[in-house]
Structure 1
Amino acid sequence: MTKQTWTAAVAALLFVALAAVIAMAPVPFVSWTPGATYDLLGEVNEAPAIEITGADTYPATGELRMVTVAVTSPDSSLTLPEALFSYWLPAREVLPREAVYRPGIGTEAIEENETQLMDDSQGAAVVAALRAAGVAVRELPMVETVSAAGPSAGKLMPGDLITAVDSTKVLTKADVRAAIDKHKVGDAVKFDLIRERVDTTETVTTRSQAEDPSVPVVGIGLGTGYTYAPQITFGINTDIGGSSAGLPFSLAIYQKLTADDLLDGRVVAATGTIDASGHIGAIGAVQEKIAAASRDGATVFLLPRDNCVDVTEAHDGIRLVPVETLGDALAGLADLDDPARAADVPECP
């Protein structure tokens, strides 16, 4: 073998080895692909997706599907071929890693945040649905955070609903703050609470505020919570996180609590964040969620109006209905049942 041949052979081997290293090296991207869908009026893992007790419920026809996206997990990486494969395939998207996962945040913290977003989404969805169904919902100040080193540690808990302070009824966060401010540092403050649907009382001794020693504090952060008669539990896998299932959760709860047959035998999918007032917010990965819904037989897909601009390709066989509120979604489904009004239901262009 000549010197030139040896040189060419070694160069070829080095090229192949270098190409293999490059192909296997992680790249700073993640992929979004169509994920699983779940019928919220049916069962998930042999248990009801949503179960309601303490109120009359009604049967429904059809399926109401929550859609998900399969995303590269925070503790995994894409190789260059995988990123290119995802980029070129339809109904998939490749995004910079930092656009999905905040730099410097660990896997455990990311997963905890996603779980909290799901929990918050379910709570807001319940309240919005109950209000739409005409079920009484009582709004109360709620303990949102408790300082680990503060005077309320071990006494008050996140999620506690405050009904009275020093035996005086409170209705708002401002009422609670005003009642605490009436005290001096070192005074005992009595809180009447609803904790996990049980009435209880706790007494907390105030301490001085770090910035102003004359100001009494109890070491809690306040939010707004709700109490209502029905008990609603979710059977969705806890591995599914995020807030984009708020709209389908609300629709499913409303459907179960009312005699209205929203679906009329159809397979309907939905996505969108929701707040306690029923306002629907935009979400990500719209194209992938539409593809998942279409794949699993949906003929109607409800999505936030603000996401219409993200629909960049035609989707045959599935009607994309933009909504801004839970009321819009309910009205749209009702109008689709009426041939005289169905044509007037808005669609994403």
Structure 2
Amino acid sequence: MSRRAATLTAASVIVIVLAIIGSAMPVPYVALMPGPTSNTLGTNDKGQPLIRIDGRQTYPDGGHLNFTTVTYRGGPGGRIDLFTALRGWIAGDTAIVPEETIFPEDESPKKVDEENTRQMQDSQQSAEAAALHELGIPVTTRVVVDGIQKGRPADGVLKTGDEITAVDGAKVTNVAEVTGTMAKHKIGDSVTLGYTRAGKAATTTLKTVATPSGDRAAVGVVISDQYKFPFKIDISVGDIGGPSAGLMFSLAIIDKLTPGSLTRGTFIAGTGTITAKGEVGPIGGIQQKMIAARKAGATVFLTPKDNCPDAAASRPGGLRLVRADTLHGTVQALNALTTGKGDVPTCE
């Protein structure tokens, strides 16, 4: 065998060995890809309305207000291999991110899934509250215990599901009022909490301790606002998690509760978190979500203002970006877009 042939043979063997090693070598990265989109004005995979409203007159709209998702491959227990990561870096529709971006080191995959489910539930409540606020429909709030921190003063005293009704004798109806009163306490002070459990009222006095950061007084409860609506709104999205569909839920609820159409035949998709006050927040995976929207047929994509720079830099052809700052502003933007009357805020 000539020296050249031997060199080529050796090189080929090395390439094959590296290929075998690469195909089997797991790497601590996650591949993010465009996920399915769902029309908030349509039905879910069971053929049921994705958003159903009972106890209030609704109006049909056959248009599209699609929320978008991101799917992933990899993670603890199922890491992608080196070649998959390399292909993802080359592919235009895939993002390769460090594993800890999706799965923090101190949280198990199960915990991450549970947190995503909780975020979806919270986003639905916020979306409903924001939509009704936009329509001028009264909504009442209450403060509910979401969790108890083990070993803290509230552990063994309060329970998940308790409603906090008062702090130091003053009635509270939202989280801001609770945190505002707690901020007046010094570490080591005593605080009296009024609460209800299974319809029964009670009070407890707890001695505050420092938060993990050491800068505030706390008793070790995780609380959230819950809303009482004047009629029933059900949102059914299956096992999709995370908070990023909030804006689209709010728009669909508004569309269903008002005559006429927000879309007027335009295929609109979008993303964005929402607060009960109607503030739109940024999300992750904007590039993958835009690709998913365009593949589904969308020509307009509602984009949180903080995501605009990245969105504008990677916008798919044929997709118009409409900037979403607030729910109220987004409704106005859609009316201007579909009627041709008024300014439409953009990312470009």
Q: Name structure 1 gaps, 5 residues minimum.
A: 179-184, 212-216
Deviation larger for 154-163 or 265-274: 154-163
Aligned residue number for residue 246 of structure 2: 246
Aligned residue number for residue 275 of structure 1: 275
The percent of aligned pairs where both chains have the same amino acid is 35
Q: Secondary structure at the match of 2:313?
A: coil
Q: 1:28 to 1:15 in 2, by over 3 A?
A: same
Q: Secondary structure at the match of 1:255?
A: helix
Please list the CA deviations of residues 208-244 of structure 1 after superposition, one character each: whole Å capped at 9, or x if unmatched. Answer: 6679xxxxx9874544332221222221012x21111
Q: Secondary structure at the match of 1:44?
A: coil
The equivalent position to 1:113 in structure 2, one of 112, 115, 132, is: 115
Q: Secondary structure at the match of 1:65?
A: strand
Aligned residue number for residue 32 of structure 1: 32
Please list the CA deviations of residues 184-213 of structure 1 after superposition, one character each: whole Å capped at 9, or x if unmatched. Answer: x9xx986456x7xxxx224355466679xx
> Counterparts in 2 of 1:137-156, with a 5 A limit?
137-146=139-148
Q: 1:50 to 1:22 in 2, by over 3 A?
A: same
Aligned residue number for residue 52 of structure 2: 51
Please report the RMSD computed on the Cα atoms of aligned residues, expressed in angstroms. 3.5
> Counterparts in 2 of 1:5-154, with a 5 A limit?
13=13, 16-46=16-46, 47-75=48-76, 76-146=78-148
How far does residue 322 in structure 1 lie from its aligned partner after superposition?
0.7
Q: 1:340 to 1:227 in 2, by over 3 A?
A: closer
- On the 8 A contact 1:40/1:50 being kept in 2, the answer is yes
Aligned residue number for residue 296 of structure 1: 296
1: distance between equivalents of 2:317 and 2:298?
11
Q: 1:8 to 1:146 in 2, by over 3 A?
A: closer
1: distance between equivalents of 2:241 and 2:80?
21
Deviation larger for 270-279 or 95-104: 95-104
Please list the CA deviations of residues 224-279 of structure 1 after superposition, one character each: whole Å capped at 9, or x if unmatched. Answer: 332221222221012x2111111111111111122241011222101011111111
Q: TM-score, normalised by structure 2?
A: 0.81
Output the amino acid matched with 1:39: N
Output the amino acid matched with 1:137: V
How far does residue 8 in structure 1 lie from its aligned partner after superposition?
8.5
How far does residue 20 in structure 1 lie from its aligned partner after superposition?
0.7
Output the amino acid matched with 2:320: R
2: distance between equivalents of 1:161 and 1:99?
34
Q: TM-score, normalised by structure 1?
A: 0.81
Q: Name structure 2 gaps, 5 residues minimum.
A: 184-189, 211-217
Q: 1:294 to 1:203 in 2, by over 3 A?
A: same
1: distance between equivalents of 2:316 and 2:4?
57
- Number of positions where the alignment pairs a residue of Structure 1 with one of Structure 2: 332
Q: Secondary structure at the match of 2:289?
A: helix
- On the 8 A contact 1:190/1:201 being kept in 2, the answer is no
Aligned residue number for residue 181 of structure 1: none
Q: Secondary structure at the match of 2:16?
A: helix
Please list the CA deviations of residues 33-92 of structure 1 after superposition, one character each: whole Å capped at 9, or x if unmatched. Answer: 111000111111222211122222211131110101111243422222211222222222
Q: Secondary structure at the match of 1:72?
A: strand
2: distance between equivalents of 1:315 and 1:227?
41
How far does residue 9 in structure 1 lie from its aligned partner after superposition?
6.4
- On the 8 A contact 1:146/1:221 being kept in 2, the answer is yes
2: distance between equivalents of 1:32 and 1:72?
7
2: distance between equivalents of 1:41 and 1:190?
41
Please list the CA deviations of residues 127-166 of structure 1 after superposition, one character each: whole Å capped at 9, or x if unmatched. Answer: 1111112211113333343466789778854344445689
Aligned residue number for residue 257 of structure 1: 257
Output the amino acid matched with 2:270: A
2: distance between equivalents of 1:220 and 1:28?
34
Q: Secondary structure at the match of 2:344?
A: coil
Q: State which structure, 1 or 2, has the greater radius of gyration over its C-alpha atoms.
A: 1
1: distance between equivalents of 2:330 and 2:112?
31
2: distance between equivalents of 1:55 and 1:3?
85
Q: 1:243 to 1:3 in 2, by over 3 A?
A: same
Q: 1:105 to 1:261 in 2, by over 3 A?
A: same
